[in-house]
A and B are shown apart, each in its own frame.
Chain A
């Protein structure tokens, strides 16, 4: 019995990790004042690139790097359009999603139906032997540990480092940051590419670990859920981690509901994460003052240094 429960609880971690990566990247992007709605496309681009490279080379590490690189490449396209050519961030993000879905399906065509071994789990010596807790906390793959390190670093970077202060200034008042001599566009480029890299790794996690295969459109809305998580987290890294694990918890119900004796049709169970996203958004958004106090003030607004 405890075996099943440990397995069910481990599902939380595997379901939460891609959301953590995509969400924390987007959080940094939005803190710099850029709204990238193309997360879904970035996740899929990362997923297909990671799977293709891992399958061809046999190396999961190379696969993860490929996912990261794909995310950077796709977000560079977004950055060029929105930051250099001043296109609408909302429309460009949607374009990135549509393009990412199509391109990943095209590239992934020959990869459908191939399985991948997944990532080896790295047991922490000494601690992983603890009954139940050891399995839950200390026997994960490298990307799970990495996601915690990433959230910690981002939290430190944003609140404690000078560069993080500049990034927040760019997001809150690009005009003031520009007047002080900070390179607004360059900072936004860096943030957007970082967000793309994170989402690419999140995508890699989907196709290498969560379901170790390539399926067309396999992100199934996780990019949008991650976007909602950033709002839910009121742009705070710690809260984002919490939110991602909350959603991971919901996916237990979805995957293990039948085994737990819930006689609900699978389609209705699959609605849960989406319905929860709406609920969570409503709960957090109804306090408009709280959103306004925490949201980056210039989010979604283009900035051009010569205007």
Chain B
């Protein structure tokens, strides 16, 4: 097998590669199910069909897709500018802590302004946490991949500390969890009989905003040039520090808001663990969606299905939940592998 460079990148393969990657992941998944000793058709049904056969299941798809899409759009903006915010999970946690703390502080208050205040807290928390790697990158040139990741571990420990100490439910028999938020601090549901909440609508708005930003504004253009040709960006007068700040703060804001939506939506209180790795999965979502907001929308739905499928396969087939992670990792691997088709043709046979 050898690679032959195409004269121009293939436009068809830009969107064809993710579809091929999905097909390859499905095939590898069948192999995995066979190795685990479960019936392949049964597993496929449990993983991909069963979760979305009920109204509740469809609602859950939106519940899980919303944070992935919100964070995925923001991350793809940063990734375009080669700003690698890998710590969205930590920003999500700090957003949840900050917004959740507002809810707990306003525990006695019933008012329309409780939720907006919580959302502001979530945004501010996520942005503050993302501001640390941005500052360290711009001021000290410290690698944002490593700093944002370390901050994720710190955030998770901080949440665990807070819910087992200062924010613990006083009437909760010492369980490490906060009080349940009251009604004014819970997100309105969009669809009766499901848990689909306001966050899904916000996610759609984020997709549109992201699309406008990237394709219709100077800032979006600067971000794209910065990623593809940093020297050209410098000559054009785009400041890389501004773009770094913007990328990280945007990621932090969306992750923080998504975190707040988790605790004010499906969870309804602060727990030691509030996210099944949305911040990390959103990285895959961003790549699978070709760093394009509309692509991210579809990629978010697909990855949301992988979470639901993992849960359903655990219940009906007794498969470990870790299958989801394996699926997600495989999908990203196959996607990166098939990306080669955009710029190269694969020729079978010996080298000339």
Contacts and interface: CB of A to CB of B under 8 A. Distances in A.
A77 B28 CA distance: 15
With most chain B CB atoms within 10 A of its CB, the pick from A86, A275, A278, A307 is A278
Interface size classification for chain A: 35 or more
Contacts of A216: 322
B329 A286 contact: no
A156 interface: no
B147 A267 contact: no
Interface in B147-162: 147, 149-151, 153-154, 157-158, 160-161
Interface string B81-103: 00010100000000000000000
Contacts, number: 138
Given A101-B325, A224-B146, A227-B146, A274 B153 contact: yes
B142 A271 contact: no
Nearest to B150: A274
B326 A86 contact: no
Max chain B C-beta neighbours (<10 A), residue from A37, A77, A224, A274:
A274
13 contacts: A37-B145, A85-B337, A94-B332, A95-B333, A98-B328, A216-B322, A224-B149, A231-B146, A274-B153, A281-B143, A281-B146, A282-B147, A288-B141
Interface string A283-304: 0011010010000000000000
Given A86-B340, A220-B153, A285-B140, A103 B326 contact: yes
B161 to A, nearest CB: 4
Interface residues of B, number: 46
Interface string B251-273: 00000000000000000000000
Given A106-B320, A285-B141, A100 B153 contact: no
Contact of B136 (A95, A268, A271, A278): A278
Given A268-B161, A271-B158, A282-B136, A228 B146 contact: yes
Contacts of B284: 95, 98
Contacts of A109: 320, 322
B287 interface: yes
Main secondary structure of the interface of B (DSSP, over half): helix
A109 B322 CA distance: 9
A270 interface: yes
B328 A106 contact: no
Interface of A: 37, 77, 81, 85-88, 90-92, 94-96, 98-103, 105-106, 109, 216, 220-221, 224-225, 227-228, 231, 265, 267-268, 270-271, 274-275, 277-278, 281-282, 285-286, 288, 291, 306-307
Contacts of A94: 86, 283, 332
A307 B141 CA distance: 31
Contact of B150 (A37, A277, A306): A277
B330 interface: yes
A35 to B, nearest CB: 10
A91 B147 contact: no
A90 B145 contact: yes
